[in-house]
Every structure is written in C-alpha cells, then in structure tokens.
Structure 1
Amino acid sequence: MLLKLVTLFFLLLVHYAMGEETCLGFVPMKMRAETISLVDYGGVGDGQTLNTKAFKEAIYRIEHLNRPGGTLLYVPAGVWLTGPFNLTSHMTLFLAKGAVIKATQDAASWPLIDPLPSYGRGREKPGGRFSSLIHGDGLNDVIITGENGTIDGQGDVWWNMWRQGTLPFTRPHLLEFMHTSEIIISNVVLQNSPFWNMHPVYCSNVVINNVTILAPRDSPNTDGIDPDSSSNICIEDNYISTGDDLVAVKSGWDEYGIAYGRPSSGITIRRLTGSSPFAGVAVGSETSGGVENVSIEHITLDNTGIGIHIKTNEGRGGYIRNITVTNVNMHVVRMGIKIAGDVGDHPDEKFDPKAVPVVDGLTLKGIWGDNVQMPGLIHGLKSSSFTRICLYDIKFEIVGGREVPWKCADVSGSASDVEPLACTELASPYGPNFCANAV
C-alpha cells in the first residue's frame, strides 16, 4: 500500500519536473499510519450484497479509534453495492484497480438531509434533499484516491424520475463535502451520478486531480465539479464528459446566498479536457455570495455547447470579478463565449429583483476554436452594466465561413486581435493598451 501511494506522489513530481504548474503540496498527500480492508468488516464485492453496513462499521472504527496519522480504508477489486455513507476526518478511501463502489438504486433507502442554507431549499424541489452517495460534513483531512477504481451512481433511475416529473425531493450528488478542509480527490473514476458529480460546498483547501467523470450526454444536470461557496480550490488534469457543465463555480442562490454571504474565491481550473452539450467551464448561475479570483487555463473542449459561460441574473446580487481565462482550444461548439445576465431561475418569489449582480474585471485571452456556430454573446444588465471586459487574441473559425457577429449590450471594456471582429461596445474607454495591461 505504501508503494502505491508513493507512486501517486511520484506522478505529481513528474508534472513538476516537466515545468507544469501543479497542486503539489497545496494539500499534502498523507501516508496513513494504518490500513484496514472493507472485507474485514463484512464487505462482499459480488455486485449483489449490500455493503452499506460494512462501510459504516469500518468508518465508525476509523473515527472512534482515531489513530494518530489517520487510517486508510482499502476497497479491493470487486463490485461493492452500497447505499449512502459518511466519511470521517483523517481517513483515506482507497479504491484498488478493478474496485467499483456502486450505488443502490433503491431510492427509498436514501436518507434526506437539510437544504443548504445558501440555497434555502433543495435545488430542484422545495424542502430537503437526498444525501449524496459519499458524504462528509465538518471534516478535516480526507482523501479519496486509488488505482483508478470507480464510483458508480447508477443514476438512470433518478434521471427517469426527473424526466417523468416524479421526483419527491432534489436528487443526490455522487460526492459532497460540506464545511470540510484539506481534501484530495485523485485517481478515481466517477460515473452516472444521479445529479451533480462532485460538490464541495463551504469548503477550503481542496485538490481534485487526475479524475475521470463520465455520464451520458443526455443525462440531466450531471455537472462534473461544482465548487460552491468555497475557497482555495485546485482542479487540474481531469477528463469530464457529462450531460451538463463540466465545471461550474457557484456561491448560493438569490436571497439565501446573499444572506449566507460566503463567496467562492481562489479557484484554479487547468488542464481540463472534455465534452458537454452545455458549458465547458461556467461561473454561475448561482453566484449570490460572490465569485472572485478564478483562473481558468489550458482547457481543451470537443463537441460542446458553450466553451466558456459566465452567467447570472437579476435577483442574484453578489458579484463576479477578477476572472482570467487563458489558453482554451475548442472544436465543434455552438458558441465560443457567453457572458450573460439573464440566466437561471429563482428559488421562490421572495427574491429581490433590485438585487443586481456586479460583473467586473473579466479577462479572456488566447482562445481558439474551429467549427464554431457563433463566436460570442456578452449581455449585461441595463441596471448593472458589465465592466472591464477584456478580449485578447481570440480566433473562432465559423462553420461554413459565414459572417456571424458578436452580440453585445450593456457592457464596456476592450477587444484586441479578435476574429470575427468583436462588437463595437468593446471599443475601450480605458485606452488602446487596456487589454495588454490586463493580461
């Protein structure tokens, strides 16, 4: 086991030696003092035996013995059917090669938990929400890693309830951490999540790298990674192909997010590859607590709805500021860039339509695309114009060589070296060198 963890650490060092920026050392990969196996607690990996009790008993043992240095829970090769379970602090969940943690499709056995305070209700339905398959609340020092084992949400039963309008409460995530710090998720495969795949909310110091996330293209709302009201997040070297946004940065929903007041900040998203009918990387639309200081770089997208989507709405409040997007390659996209103030719904009728968001200081540089249907749309709000929007070195090859213009309104900033030619609203009031200085 020690050798396996050393190997993972060595792979990170390879990136560092090649001169690539990495999250190395941002959250240390802990070598646990003790290893236990799920088999020791009655686990049976035959794909039919329910292992919820085995997972809970093993994690109870980790929590209550509280070994100095923590404990690693080893999941051997096999298919381990289970209902939802909670992790604990100072533990590593390690999936061996060929290990599959598979969610039960018995929806009645999934517990309900309270709605998030920054949302005020379940995201899809009023009231509570179903717990994620793997959940953690108020923890510190948690690692999920392995030899590319799989966590399978078997989400089709949930997707069908959504399509048929029979959901009683909001669907579960595959992984969710709340109020947790020092998290590493690496070298695992997530697939077929009932709802969003990975949701760190009210968290800090999180590394998500070398993860593969898969769901059918028509699976509803299967976002890949959604950091939410969280800080110091590093998302790198991941492959995601799902039915919704690959990565979406959030911070709460309308009046509830405004009242909770916890922003998302200090977020790095880099070396992401993937495909989606919706966005490659999104900010929003739930941004009521504010989103700032986000770096998005070295992104490769294929067959995607919108390459980069920054989205908010009247009633959201909050802010989106200091967002930098660089080195993005797109192939076959409906729209290259969309920055819009009329996206997303509301939790109830209590939202304040006068709570308008502030969108300021967005820099998008070094973005290229071919087989693009529309280059971009930037629509601010009449009551809150989007300001200091910088487009620089952006080239989209439009399908069929057509002349398709950008669409802009209620926005100011600058555009330089942009093809097709950017909208006149970005004729900079800040001077001809504004974009160059911004990047």
Structure 2
Amino acid sequence: MKNLKHVLLTALLSPLVAMTAANAQQANNDAIAFEKAFNVKLPSIKSPVFKKDTFDVASYGAKADGITLNTKAINDAILACSKNGGGVVLLGNGLWLSGPIILQNNVNLHLKENAVLLFTADKSQYKLIEANWEGKKAIRNESPISGTNLQNIAITGKGIIDGNGDVWRAVKKEKLTESQWKKLVASGGVVKDGRYWMPSAGFLKGDTSKNASAIVPGKSLADYEEIKDFFRPNLLVLTNCKTILLEDVTFQNSPAWCLHPLMCEDLTLRNLMVKNPWYAQNGDGVDVESCKNVLIEGSSFDVGDDGICIKSGRDEDGRKRGMPTENVIVRNNVVYHAHGGFVIGSEMSGGAKNLYVYNNSFMGTDIGLRFKTTRGRGGVVENIYISHTNMKDIAGEAILFDMYYMAKDPILLAGEKREDPKSEMMPVTEATPQFKNFFIKNTYVNGAEKALFIRGLPEMNIKNINIENSVIQADAGIELVEAQGISIKNMSLLTRKSSNLISIRNSSAVNFDGFKALSNYQSFAEIAGAKTANINFINTPIKDAKQKSTFTFGAKPSVLNIK
C-alpha cells in the first residue's frame, strides 16, 4: 500500500515538477538572452534557509476567530522560534486579529492558504516611534509588521495580510463616486475644504501643521500624541536586514506604502499579490530604498500610487546616507492600477544603478516607465537596462523622464489645473539630480496619452537615453525638453490626435534611426530653442519632414539633418 501511495503521489506531482523545471529553464533562458542583449551580468541574490521546526501560534494561545487580539501570542511564537535557532511560525486556517508583529532572526512566518492576518483598527495598539517617511527620518506609528537588523527571515504562504488601511487614510472626494463619498462622510471624521475627508481632527491638525512628522531636538514622542493619527504606518518595514524572502503572500489594504525594505541586502519578492484601493494616497506597492541585491519576480500589483518603485532617500538626508539602490532584477511582473508601473524616484538622493528590468506588463497604469526627480534631491541614477515591456491603456505617458516632479497625481483630477514649471538656469550643486545611461529595448504599447516625454533641467540635461525596437500607439507622440544624447532606433509610432509628431526644445545630439510614422500628421517636428542642435533622422522614409517642420524661439532649420 505504501508503494502504491508513493506511485500515485509521484504520478500526481510529476506534471507539476516538470512544469516547475520548464519554468525554471525558461527563466534561465530569458536571463541569458537579457545578459547578451545588453552585455551585462545579472547579480546573484542569496535566499534564506530555515530549520524545519514548526511553531504553531495556536499553541501559544492565539485564536483565529477575528475577535481575539493575538499580538502577544504571535510575537511569543516568533521569539520562541528564533531562540530555538529558527524555523517556521505557522498561522493556520482562520482570521487572526493582531496588533504590531516584530520579526526575529531565522524565522519564516508562514500563512496557510486560508489564513488571514488582519491588523487591528485600534490605533492605540501602535506606539509612536522614530522611523523613516519618504526618505527622511520622521515620527511614525509602529508598522503592523517590522524587523530591524535581522538576518535570514521570510514571510511565505498563500494567506492574506491585511493592514486595515481604511481607518488610517484620508480620501479625496474626486476619487469616489457620489454615493461612496456620502457614505464615507457619514461614517465620521472631518472634511477639509469640502473635498478632503480625514479620519479625525488629530489627522487634520497634523495635515495643516508644517513638517508635522519632523524629529525635533528636545521634543519627546509624547509631544506628538495630539496628532498621532496623522502618522500613517507602512504595512511592512524591514530595516537593515539581510537575506529576506517574501513569497506567495497577498499584502493588501496598507495605511500607506505596502512593502518598504530599507537598507536591506539580498531580498527576494516572489509570486506576491500586492493590493491597495486605487484611492489610497501614498498607497505604493513596493518601495525598495537604499537596498542591494534584490529580485522582484512573478508578482502582481494593483495599488493607489506607484507599483514597483526604486528609492534611496530624500534630499540632504539621502545624500548623507549615501546608499544607492543597486543590483536589482525586476522580471515577469504585472502592474494594474498604479501611478507608475516601474518607477525610480522621486526620493533618489542616494542614487540608483545597475537595475535590470524585463518581461513586465503594465495594464492601465497612469504612466508605464516613470522616472522622476526634482531640484534639491541630488543623486545619480544610471545604468538602467529595460527590455520586453508590454503596456495597455496607459492614462498618461508610456515612458516618462521628468526632473520637475511636483508631488501630485500624474493624471489631473476633475477640475484640477496645473501650469508648466518655469524654465530657468540654476547653479549646479550637490543637490542637482542626474539621470543618465538608460537602455530600453522592445517596448510595445497599445494605448497611451503620450508615447515619450523627457524633460531635464537647463543646468543638467537628461543624458544618454537609448530606446530601441518599440511599437507605440498613443494619442500624442514624442516631446523632448533639455535632453542630450537621445537615441531612438527602430521605433514605429501611431498617433491618434497630435498635430505635432515630435516636439524638441533646447535639446542636442538627438538621433532617430529607422523611425516610422504609422499615421498622418500635420507637422512632423516642432523644433524650438537656441540651444537645440544636431537633430538627426537616419534611415527614416519621411521625405517631406523638412518642409513639415517648424523652427521657433531661436532654432534654425540647419539643426535638422535628414540622411
């Protein structure tokens, strides 16, 4: 009988094993192809290893009834596991209510498929701490899950971790239907300016206080209690940890960012589902900040802010830390609603380099590839390699580089108006950011508001951007402002509404090679600015381009060369 069971089990598992092996082989082939295409070597990321010992939280008094507060029992099980040399802390079937959980060395927190870890709406359970917010040291509420200075840790399993974020977040009226807004206002809280709901008066006071979360010498944590409600925590924060695995879990409904690894090394995120309501302000999916050796693969994101985001600290704080995010692989992911699919910035003051992004799809994001910064950040973002990106129904730009980030939603809300920033030359200092050396291949876009937008600073152009082998269908075409050394090769562009196919202002050394316009246009190019020079179209079958281009604000026809 034992042998028969073994045979049956082998027969049942063999297709799965074969499929897993096939997937692994395909992943390996894709990695090899990527390395050859860009002449790079992908980094190696270490994975944690755990003892088989299992610590069931139910054995420590936890109850999966959705009512019992299991904070102590879960933390006791984690501590016991770590002190025993590590292993698995198990949450079985059921609804586990808890306050903040603190991870420990050598512990794999594992949620079975029908396990839900729900964090309490009782904010008194989350103490005020000195932490980090948007790249700066700040006062925050303790995160639902956190870990500091740890090694060999994991959160795995097919369960759900829910941050109960709706009790923390403010909401803009424009992001809800009329009935949703009325229901929200009737639930309590306060409304600011008739359009901005906040959960409490304390939140409102924090929102209207300048630098409310700043750590001020001489002030104690008790001095911040009056506006405690304002300091929304991130769902998961791992600080200065090494060898980390997050696998198979659903992370959802965070008060702010969902996943925030900070100054970590050897981090793997695999087969995750990361969800926040689309109206969730600062509801990012994952923000990888000042980390080294990272793999994000096979995951899906549907969130209220940026999907997969690379950061490295903000302004002077980030520059003093001086830790770039580097050696990152992002592959085989899907991003649904988000402000950006794959994003760098805007808090990138420590820099970012050696990022390898391939085989990702963005479905309905506001922007596809989004790279943003602003004066004051400083930092250098360089050596970014991106291939095989699919996009559909992008509300804004398919590809965007912008050094005038304004900390606003990328798509205008109903009734909202914005003016373009004033262009003026400023001195170059350590606070001047830089974007350079981007290599983007094989981008396919079915629907976007604009195909490509690059806007640098007069004193620091965006430099050496290479885009190759792309097919883009968008309302508007290409806009280049204060850009230098731009190469666009083998691009097919179908525009639907724009009268100007290409707009170039104060940019130089711009090469279009093998460019194809798949639709009619009134003006081939609008070329402006006395600084514009050396604009070249090579192997481009557009004979009337010279006649259908305009030259304004000091730009001369001689800057456009058609070969």
Please classify the TM superposition score into its range, dividing by the shorter chain length.
0.7 to 0.9
| Cα pair distance change 1:263/1:330, threshold 3 Å | same
CA distance in 2, matches of 1:117, 1:106: 22
CA distance in 2, matches of 1:33, 1:339: 47
CA distance in 1, matches of 2:119, 2:146: 13
Name the counterpart of 1:437. none
8 Å CA contact 1:285–1:344 kept in 2: the answer is no
Name the counterpart of 2:510. 427
Report the residue type matching 1:279 in the other structure: G
| Cα pair distance change 1:180/1:12, threshold 3 Å | farther
Query: Alignment partner for residue 79 of structure 2, among 34, 37, 60?
Result: 60
8 Å CA contact 1:27–1:184 kept in 2: the answer is no
CA RMSD of aligned residues (A): 2.8
* Cα deviation, residue 275, structure 1: 1.1
Name the counterpart of 1:125. none
Q: Highest Rg: 1 or 2?
A: 2
Name the counterpart of 1:144. 155
* Cα deviation, residue 214, structure 1: 1.2
Name the counterpart of 1:159. 169
CA distance in 1, matches of 2:289, 2:51: 29
8 Å CA contact 1:118–1:253 kept in 2: the answer is yes
| Cα pair distance change 1:337/1:296, threshold 3 Å | same
1:376-413 superposed Cα distances (whole Å, 9 cap, x missing partner): 210011111111111112222124xxxx2311111122
Name the counterpart of 2:390. 329
Q: How high is the sequence identity, in percent, across the aligned residues? A: 28
Name the counterpart of 2:416. none
Name the counterpart of 1:270. 331
- Counting only pairs closer than 5 Å after superposition, residues 149-188 of structure 1 correspond to structure 2 as 149-160=159-170, 163-164=197-198, 165-166=203-204, 168=227, 169-188=230-249
| Cα pair distance change 1:10/1:47, threshold 3 Å | farther
* Cα deviation, residue 120, structure 1: 3.4
* Cα deviation, residue 423, structure 1: 5.1
Name the counterpart of 2:185. none
Report the residue type matching 1:221 in the other structure: N
8 Å CA contact 1:13–1:24 kept in 2: the answer is no
Query: Alignment partner for residue 370 of structure 1, among 443, 446, 470?
Result: 446
CA distance in 1, matches of 2:67, 2:17: 34
Are 1:389 and 2:397 an aligned pair?
Answer: no
| Cα pair distance change 1:296/1:109, threshold 3 Å | same
8 Å CA contact 2:301–2:307 kept in 1: the answer is yes
Query: Alignment partner for residue 320 of structure 2, among 259, 269, 277?
Result: 259
Query: Alignment partner for residue 307 of structure 2, among 225, 243, 246?
Result: 246
| Cα pair distance change 1:370/1:252, threshold 3 Å | same
More displaced, 159-168 or 227-236? Answer: 159-168
Q: State the TM-score, normalized to the length of structure 2.
A: 0.68
CA distance in 2, matches of 1:12, 1:221: 36
8 Å CA contact 1:74–1:94 kept in 2: the answer is yes
Query: Alignment partner for residue 490 of structure 2, among 396, 410, 417?
Result: 417
Secondary structure in 2 matching 1:58: helix
* Cα deviation, residue 219, structure 1: 1.5
Name the counterpart of 2:282. 221
Unmatched segments (≥5 aa) in structure 2? 1-8, 32-41, 171-188, 190-195, 207-226, 409-426, 494-500, 512-533, 539-563
Query: Alignment partner for residue 433 of structure 2, among 353, 357, 367?
Result: 357
Name the counterpart of 1:286. 347
Report the residue type matching 1:243 in the other structure: G
CA distance in 2, matches of 1:172, 1:151: 15
| Cα pair distance change 1:173/1:30, threshold 3 Å | same
Instruction: Count how many residue pairs are aligned between Structure 1 and Structure 2.
Output: 411
8 Å CA contact 2:48–2:153 kept in 1: the answer is no
Name the counterpart of 2:125. 109
1:301-353 superposed Cα distances (whole Å, 9 cap, x missing partner): 1111000000111000111101111111111012101101011559xxxxx99
1:75-115 superposed Cα distances (whole Å, 9 cap, x missing partner): 10100000111100111101011000001011122122213
More displaced, 81-90 or 29-38? Answer: 29-38
| Cα pair distance change 1:12/1:107, threshold 3 Å | farther
CA distance in 1, matches of 2:267, 2:448: 34
* Cα deviation, residue 33, structure 1: 3.4
Name the counterpart of 1:79. 95
Are 1:341 and 2:403 an aligned pair?
Answer: yes
CA distance in 2, matches of 1:97, 1:328: 31
Q: State the TM-score, normalized to the length of structure 1.
A: 0.87
